[in-house]
């Protein structure tokens, strides 16, 4: 609030004395600190969180060639529609298509599978293959699970024709 004070000098009956207002700046200082605090917190909440993803160098000269991994130590994880994930062990190098399994339980089921695979063979490679029906969130969730389970060897690769044939055989 402002407190009026009279100007120094003699009072005259005919003249009105002049009042000087000194506003109390305490609420304005408090408001300034609140605004500074708000903008500092708002700027801190806006910072994005980024997961580091190290992708292998592209050594393929022919785009029709594929990367070959060992048959025994690979797990192919196919991300499908509606957040479903399917997997098979080994590669698609033989004429027979491998048995396709579906992961139940969402992220907890995927985590359980990855821990089991890493426990069986610490040098195993996980191939994440998002299908055209998978959402970006499914891929990020799968990469999060790789990070949580400390899976060092993983790669994001495209689905091959054999993978499409495997999905078509199971009606997915």
pLDDT at 9: 56
Give the C-alpha separation, 163 to 157, whole Å: 11
Q: Tell whether the torsion through CA atoms of 147, 102, 78 and 80 is positive or negative.
A: negative
pLDDT at 133: 84
The vertex-27 CA angle with 21 and 28, nearest 5°, equals: 80
Contact 22, 5 (CB under 8 A): yes
Residue segments in the chain with a per-residue pLDDT below the cut of 70: 1-16, 51-72, 91-96
pLDDT at 35: 94
The CATH T-level fold of domain 74-169 is Nucleotidyltransferase; domain 5 (3.30.420)
pLDDT at 105: 72
Q: pTM for the full model? A: 0.59
Please write down the HEC assignment for all residues of the chain: CCEEEECCCCCCCCCCCCEEEECCCHHHHHHHHHHHHHHHHHHHHCCCCCCCCCCCCCCCCCCCCCCCCCCCCEEEEEECHHHCEEEEECCCCCCCCCCCEECCCHHHHHHHHHHHHHHHCCCCEEEEEECCCCCHHHHHHHHHHHHHCCCCCEEECCCCHHHHHHHHHCCC
pLDDT at 10: 54
pLDDT at 36: 94
pLDDT at 83: 80
> What does the domain layout of the chain look like in residue ranges?
74-169
């Amino acid at each position: 609030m402002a407190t009026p004070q009279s100007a120094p000098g003699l009072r005259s009956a005919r003249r009105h004395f002049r009042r000087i207002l000194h506003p109390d700046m305490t609420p304005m200082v408090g408001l300034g600190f609140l605004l500074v605090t708000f903008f500092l917190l708002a700027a801190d909440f806006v910072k994005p969180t980024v997961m580091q993803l190290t992708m292998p160098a592209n050594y393929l000269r022919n785009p029709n060639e594929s990367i070959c991994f060992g048959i025994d130590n690979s797990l192919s994880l196919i991300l499908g529609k509606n957040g479903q994930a399917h997997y098979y062990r080994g590669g698609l190098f033989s004429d027979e298509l491998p048995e396709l399994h579906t992961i139940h339980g969402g992220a907890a089921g995927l985590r359980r599978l990855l821990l089991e695979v890493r426990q069986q063979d610490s040098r195993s490679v996980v191939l994440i293959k998002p299908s055209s029906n998978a959402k970006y969130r499914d891929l990020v969730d799968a990469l999060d699970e790789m990070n949580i389970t400390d899976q060092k060897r993983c790669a994001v690769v495209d689905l091959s024709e054999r993978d499409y044939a495997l999905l078509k055989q199971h009606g997915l």
